[in-house]
Amino acid sequence: MAKKDPFIDIRPYYDEELPYVVNRMLQSPGFINSITNFMPDVPLNVTVKRIRKISTLDEMQKKVFGPIIQTFEERSIDTLTFGGYEELPKNKAYLFVANHRDIVMDSAIMQEYLMRNGESACLSGIGDNLLMSQIFTDIAKTGNMFTITRTSNARQMVTKSKLVSEYIHTNIYKKHKSVWIAQRNGRTKDGCDKTQPSVLKMFCMSRGNNDLFKHIRELNIVPVTISYEFEPCDQMKARELILTEKNKKYEKMPDEDYKSITTGIFAYKSRVHLQFGTPINDSIDESLHFSNENEKIQYLCALIDKQMYAHYHLWPNNYIAYDLLNNSTAFQSKYSELAKRDFNQHIRKQANIDDVSYFKMKQRLLTIYANPVKIAIENNLENIPVQS
């Protein structure tokens, strides 16, 4: 009797499952429309024939999803830059722990970069709350995504989180496959990128009797920082923060996740930079004294965050927002009057919605853009990076 696959409920599809899944995907009008819209240079019937011949997930990434992501980038980004990857040894697998600003584009931009540089796309985590239909599930699982459970009771969450932990460790340490995962559950809404201890605790759920630091070293964590000049979904994020503050709880509309996905993909971002860090293994000091394992987790989070803050590329928008919010001219050398005028125009437009006051929206939007500068100041980053 064949041994049951322990990861069948969360893993991407296997290559041998692809023909059946592809046939189902090609019966979806939404998927066909996506192909038509985002692979317009090739006739649809030719593209469909090519897709039917695809036999591996790697081919699917390079021939279908890669070109679609490139179209997303071309339509919403003026300049896309990268740094740090050339410093990473290519004979190792990594757990890329990334700041999380956009549902799709954060990982998609990194994946497309890896493929463009001759690497295979890595595995990436996606919340099960985003798998809203069969076609979304099929796209995710043919796109090298594994499922992270966010919609179960407490007992099930523990069991399923342990399964995810084992899946990540197995792929990195035993199969030598890299993994992308966000540093927190859900996107950063307020512009403050901070690693959630619960994410690190989840990584360690599969360590058994192993020392915590030993297990973390086996995962080979590399922080990855993405910086958008215009924050994806800034209007939606500001509104959610204000309503959460007012009502103590935020209730999503039925189609809100889908709207966040599409807005994040298509909204104008201007310039974007993605920076790969260095393995935190190089920074772990095991001679330090820790009273308990929670302190070790906090220490590891701080190592990740330190790189996040150092590698975040501050744009003129960030400095403008900081000066406007603080009624100062501290950073006026970092931007032009034209940039300030354009940014003010963007903020006025985004602040004008029906169910939240204009003043509150404007303040919250400015705060989202200003917080990365505030964090850089608080962390004594003397050479604050800026893209002019």
Taking the C-alpha atoms of residue 158 and residue 171, their distance in angstroms, rounded to an integer, is 20
CA 244, 246, 251, 256 torsion: positive or negative?
A: negative
Q: What is the CA radius of gyration of the chain?
A: 21
pLDDT at 2: 55
Q: How confident is the model at residue 151 (pLDDT cuts 50, 70, 90)?
A: confident
Is the pLDDT at 385 greater than 70, yes or no? no
| Strand-pair category, 77-83 with 95-98 | unpaired
Is the pLDDT at 370 greater than 80, yes or no? yes
Range of weakest confidence among 71-85, 148-162, 271-285, 297-311: 148-162
Strand order in the sheet with 270-276: 77-83, 270-276, 221-228, 95-98, 179-182, 123-127, 145-148
What is the tens place of the pLDDT at every residue in 193-252?
Answer: 999 999 999 999 999 888 999 999 999 999 999 999 999 999 999 999 999 998 878 888
pLDDT at 137: 96
Domain 15-232+267-312 sits in CATH at 3.40.1130.10
Is the pLDDT at 383 greater than 60, yes or no? no
The answer to whether the CB of 325 falls within 8 A of the CB of 370 is yes
Is the pLDDT at 386 greater than 80, yes or no? no
Name the nearest CA neighbour of 140 among 127, 156, 159, 157.
Answer: 127
| pTM (two decimals) | 0.95
| Tally of CA atoms within 13 A in the half-sphere of 190 that contains its CB | 10
Helix 316-326 vs helix 358-378: crossing angle, to nearest 10: 110
Is the pLDDT at 382 greater than 80, yes or no? no
The answer to whether the CB of 180 falls within 8 A of the CB of 171 is no
Is the pLDDT at 388 greater than 60, yes or no? no
What's the mean pLDDT in 285-296? 95
Taking the C-alpha atoms of residue 87 and residue 350, their distance in angstroms, rounded to an integer, is 39
The answer to whether the CB of 176 falls within 8 A of the CB of 216 is no
What is the tens place of the pLDDT at every residue in 106-145?
Answer: 999 999 999 999 998 999 999 998 998 999 999 999 999 9
Is the pLDDT at 29 greater than 70, yes or no? yes
| Strand-pair category, 270-276 with 221-228 | antiparallel
pLDDT at 149: 86
What's the mean pLDDT in 46-64? 93
Is the pLDDT at 274 greater than 90, yes or no? yes
What is the tens place of the pLDDT at every residue in 82-101?
Answer: 999 999 998 899 999 999 99
Q: What type of residue sits at position 319?
A: Y
Ranges in the chain annotated CATH 3.40.1130.10: 15-232+267-312
Q: Three-state SS across 306-322?
A: HHHHHHCCECHHHHHHH
To the nearest whole number, what is the mean pLDDT of the chain? 93
Environment class of 291 (CB within 10 Å of its CB; exposed 0-12, middle 13-18, buried 19+) = exposed
Adjacent-strand bridge partners of 97: 181, 223
Taking the C-alpha atoms of residue 151 and residue 171, their distance in angstroms, rounded to an integer, is 24
Is the pLDDT at 381 greater than 90, yes or no? no
What's the mean pLDDT in 354-368? 97
